[in-house]
């Protein structure tokens, strides 16, 4: 029994070490992500389990020096991960002040009591999405068709109970999954429930997936969903003139590209005249460089080993323009909407260099505001379920979107008064 304790703690210590400093290299990116993502975001739970495990061995007099040494290292590493996560509050506060100006708080309400402390019960039970949604009084109108495909052209609408009467701001969520997997019920659930409870109308969509449906089917479907929102969201109390778009990973790519290419007829076949503009984009850990324009080796490898073969199904050497057109980094114009770009510093699936280059390019070209938040130590997909870090991000996105909507309303009132 004694060696099992040491081996168990050694296995968890290896996971902790990878979360602290992920394995380097493109080919280790996927295993490093899966090993580090849950370990980092569930560090408080693992810390409690590791401490209890070690304590039980001591009480039962089964502890060995080697086992306790490994356990001590694991516990110390997990405590470091917890402490690093708590710094997220300051990271997003600094990002908002830098991107929006120190006086942006004047348009926001003082933080509620629950926003000044961590929701320990929620973090302790992070996967109780449906129970929390119902407790907030949020209803979901499921599987509303927005196109012809029987399963992928479906969306869900989240509203408060009762739904807003009219004029509520709208948030459209685009799921991730490498353009090949995923669905609308899996991602951004805490954000959708929170914003709907605060009076927003939130929409989350499915879209056609590669390789069965090669690019650009995915961006066409996002545009089609935007056109549906413009035509139908008033029936749910939403304001079609104010639409924010968000998404993570592939959804971060698609939401950014949609925001940067409004009303592009090439990606609106059969609905070329539809309005697909958005007022603001909040991409999370997105892919911004399909073409390898950044010169990052990781971007070039992603293009050549995955995007070319499974998503676009084209050769970047002979058809580089297809990859360039699909790159948000290369579609930035002075007319780009406001952006809040979010990424983790330890993302091994989409290294942070893409986000840094994207935010830098936005700041150089766009006439609108650019806010960039980089989370120290965070992996890909760190906001999927409630954790210390994702709680601070959720509050920051809430305050950013609230600020943006109120600013837009103030500008509209000023223009009407002229």
CB atoms within 10 A of CB 391: 22
Q: Cα–Cα distance between 122 and 119 in angstroms, integer?
A: 5
Q: Cα–Cα distance between 15 and 23 in angstroms, integer?
A: 10
Q: Cα–Cα distance between 78 and 19 in angstroms, integer?
A: 9
Catalytic residue, candidates 347, 366, 387, 392: 347
Pairing of strands 154-160, 168-174: unpaired
380 is catalytic: yes
Q: Cα–Cα distance between 283 and 228 in angstroms, integer?
A: 21
Catalytic residue, candidates 85, 175, 221, 249: 249
* Residues 6 or more apart in contact with residue 396 via CB below 8 angstroms: 92, 93, 95, 96, 373
347 is catalytic: yes
Region of 173 on the Ramachandran plot (φ > 0 left; ψ -120 to 50 alpha; else beta): beta
Angle between helices 29-41 and 2-20 (to 10 degrees): 100
With contact defined as beta carbons under 8 Å apart, do 342 and 373 qualify?
yes
Please list the residues that pair with 375 across neighbouring strands. Answer: 344
CA-closest candidate to residue 138, choices 198, 203, 204, 185: 198
Pairing of strands 201-205, 154-160: antiparallel
Q: Cα–Cα distance between 13 and 53 in angstroms, integer?
A: 13
CA-closest candidate to residue 249, choices 304, 173, 324, 303: 173
Catalytic residue, candidates 380, 392, 404, 405: 380
392 is catalytic: no
State the SS3 of 39-80: HHHCHHHHHHHHHHHHHHHHHCCCCCHHHHHHHHHHHHHHHH
CA-closest candidate to residue 171, choices 264, 242, 251, 274: 242
Q: Cα–Cα distance between 392 and 206 in angstroms, integer?
A: 27
Catalytic residues: 249, 347, 380
């Amino acid at each position: 029994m004694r060696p099992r304790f040491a081996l168990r703690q050694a296995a968890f210590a290896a996971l902790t070490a990878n979360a602290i400093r992920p394995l380097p290299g493109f080919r280790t990116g996927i295993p490093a992500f899966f090993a580090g993502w849950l370990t980092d975001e569930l560090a408080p739970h693992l810390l409690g389990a590791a401490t209890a495990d070690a304590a039980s061995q001591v009480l039962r007099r089964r502890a060995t020096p080697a086992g306790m040494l490994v356990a001590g290292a694991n516990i110390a590493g997990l405590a470091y991960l917890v402490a690093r996560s708590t710094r997220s509050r300051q990271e997003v506060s600094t990002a908002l002040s830098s991107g929006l100006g120190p006086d942006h708080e004047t348009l926001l309400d003082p933080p509620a009591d629950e926003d000044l402390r961590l929701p320990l019960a929620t973090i302790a039970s992070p996967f109780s999405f449906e129970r929390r949604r119902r407790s907030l009084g949020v209803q979901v109108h499921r599987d509303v068709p927005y196109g012809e495909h029987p399963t992928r052209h479906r969306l869900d609408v989240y509203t408060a109970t009762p739904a807003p009467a009219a004029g509520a701001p709208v948030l459209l969520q685009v799921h991730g999954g490498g353009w090949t997997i995923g669905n609308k019920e899996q991602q951004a659930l805490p954000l959708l429930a929170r914003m709907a409870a605060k009076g927003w109308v939130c929409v989350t969509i499915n879209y056609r997936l590669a390789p069965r449906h090669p690019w650009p089917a995915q961006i066409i479907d996002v545009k089609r969903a935007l056109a549906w929102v413009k035509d139908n969201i008033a029936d749910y109390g939403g304001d079609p003139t104010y639409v924010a778009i968000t998404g993570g990973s592939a959804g971060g790519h698609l939401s950014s590209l949609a925001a940067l290419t409004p009303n592009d007829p090439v990606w609106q076949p059969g609905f070329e005249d539809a309005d697909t503009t958005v007022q603001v984009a909040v991409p999370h850990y997105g892919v911004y460089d399909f073409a390898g324009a950044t010169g990052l080796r990781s971007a070039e490898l992603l293009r050549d080993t995955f995007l070319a073969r499974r998503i676009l199904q084209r050769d970047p050497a002979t058809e580089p323009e297809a990859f360039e057109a699909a790159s948000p980094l290369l579609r930035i114009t002075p007319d780009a909407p406001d952006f809040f770009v979010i990424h983790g510093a330890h993302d091994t699936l989409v290294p942070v260099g893409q986000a840094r280059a994207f935010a830098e390019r936005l700041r150089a070209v766009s006439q609108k505001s650019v806010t960039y938040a980089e989370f120290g130590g965070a992996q890909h997909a760190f906001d999927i379920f409630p954790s210390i870090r994702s709680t601070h991000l959720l509050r920051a996105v809430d305050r950013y979107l609230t600020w943006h909507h109120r600013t837009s309303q103030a500008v509209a009132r000023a223009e009407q008064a002229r």
